[in-house]
Amino acid sequence: MSSVWQMTAVAFAEWITADALEAGWSRADVDQIVGHLFEVEAHNLVRLARFFVDDRDASEDLVQEAFIRLARSIHRIKDPEAAPAYLRSIVLNLARDHNRRGLVSLRHRESAVPSPAGIEEGLEIREDQQRVIDALRDLSPGQRNCLVLRYYMELSNPEIARTLGVSVNTVKTQIQRGMASLERTLTGET
């Protein structure tokens, strides 16, 4: 991550609201939870944002904003175990908003996967990756989010459900329908 983006948990204390303090959260509690989450989740959250946003700097900015929003609303989280899902949800929403504003989106994103040694083989894989990315872009937001969280972020169905605020059955259905749609698109079936 860029040196400008490197932040410490202490910096987040500036965004603690009176609501959090009134709800019984101390600055030390917020520092501990947010700092730990930053260490554990920040890199993966940037990867997640990067899937939806072309620019790495913009991805880092979105994740930074997600941590700021977490610090501001930490008092709303009843179960600290829910905080990672809450952060992923914020990142997805921020990425969606970022793209709605007409900024560079998934369409122009180059693959983050390194190319193999051979040029022809590398071009073939890049074309295949671009086809998958294009097919993902054409899915409904629910299907796309579930598939990205499942296969890119490697989250379990309950973790995806918690992140998106839906039932596990909805996640299963979205993944099943999304995979079927991807298969039809990628095999040329209609």
The CATH number of the domain holding residue 125 is: 1.10.10.10
Domain that holds residue 125: 117-190
Write out pLDDT tens, residues 127-171. 777 788 888 888 998 999 999 999 888 899 999 999 999 999 999
Taking the whole predicted model, whether its pTM rises above 0.95 is answered as: no
Asked whether residue 142 is assigned to any structural domain, the reply reads: yes
Cβ burial, residue 171 (10 Å; 0-12/13-18/19+): buried
pLDDT score recorded for residue 83: 85
- In the chain, the number of structural domains is 2
Contacts of 160 (CB under 8 A, 6+ apart): 145, 146, 149, 150, 171
Is the pLDDT at 34 greater than 90? The verdict is no
Are 91 and 139 part of one and the same domain? no
Element (H, E) at 186: helix 168-187
Ramachandran bin of 139, using left for φ above 0, alpha for ψ from -120 to 50, beta for the remaining angles: beta
Write out pLDDT tens, residues 7-30. 444 454 455 555 556 666 666 777
Q: Share the mean pLDDT of the chain.
A: 77
